[in-house]
Amino acid sequence: MRKYIVGNWKMNGLRSDLGVIGQIAALANTFSNVDSGLCIPSTLIAVATQQYPHFTIGGQDVHTATSGAHTGCISAAMLIDAGASVVIVGHSERRADQFESDALVQAKAQAAIAVGLSAIICVGETEAQRDNGDAENVVLGQIDGSIPDSATSDSVSIAYEPVWAIGTGRIPSVDDVTAMHSAIRARLVARLGDDGSKMQILYGGSMNGENAATLLAIPHVDGGLIGGASLSAEKFAPILAAAQDIGA
Ligand code: PGA
């Protein structure tokens, strides 16, 4: 499977950073065996897709409704209209800060794929849940509750992001990532049949140029969702290079 490397800029990025998106788009073009993209603030999507039309640009959230009285929200149609082709849903920061439930994340993913966006559905346990031995149950429960019935391997990817690994510089052991990604794969196959074996499962949480080769070599780690290390071309480059070396 080709590796899929997606940057998540979170609430970072002004128009003065468009050049960085251009550098990353140019860089991505040199790694022909890797699928890559950047999920950027909504305010930059239209201008970024105009300037760099051949690079995958995405949003970081979407509303469940197609339009209407939802002040401050962005619909899937608006993302498409701005040139986005992908959207992150259910990131742990939104699950925590905006109290997003599995059912809401599922409805958001459904709204996204209904208009032709692909959705990256995020799941992951907190540190307390891992310490209690609940990590796998929590993550598989999120998988069950957050994936819409219409999901296919073309329209949906999963990002496993342990909450305690995000932005902390800490990552799980290779054994723990292996176990979790295998468990997610088994659940996807049980739910979606053969197509579940093709759905990309990304790892996220402090992936960087130093640990990417190790993480991306783990079975069923089909790519990465990268926060901090996607904010500059210099930091993103070695992750793409590792994906190019390991990917088919
Ligand atoms: P990080 O963020 O790479 O900065 O840990 C990953 C994410 O939250 O998607």
What is residue 247's predicted lDDT score, i.e. its pLDDT?
82
Determine which one of 63, 91, 181, 220 is catalytic. Answer: 91
pLDDT tens sequence across 8-58: 999 999 999 999 999 999 999 999 999 999 999 999 999 999 999 999 999
Ligand 1 binding pocket includes 166 (Cβ within 6 Å): yes
pLDDT tens sequence across 77-105: 999 999 999 999 999 999 999 999 999 99
Decide if 100 is catalytic. no
Average pLDDT along the chain: 97
Question: What values do phi and psi take at 114, rounded to 5?
Answer: -60, -30
| Both tokens assigned to 133 | 């031995």
Tell me how far apart the terminal alpha carbons of the chain are, to the nearest angstrom. Answer: 6
Do the Cβ atoms of 55 and 25 come closer than 8 Å?
A: yes
pLDDT tens sequence across 61-84: 999 999 999 999 999 999 999 999
Ligand 1 binding pocket includes 226 (Cβ within 6 Å): yes
What is the average pLDDT across 149-177?
A: 98
How much of the chain exceeds pLDDT 70, in percent?
Answer: 100
pLDDT tens sequence across 111-158: 999 999 999 999 999 999 999 999 999 999 999 999 999 999 999 999
Torsion angle, CA of 108/169/32/88, rounded to 10 degrees?
10
| Both tokens assigned to 29 | 């073009």
What is residue 248's predicted lDDT score, i.e. its pLDDT?
66
Band of residue 1 on the pLDDT scale cut at 50, 70, 90: confident
Decide if 91 is catalytic. yes
- Structure pTM? 0.98
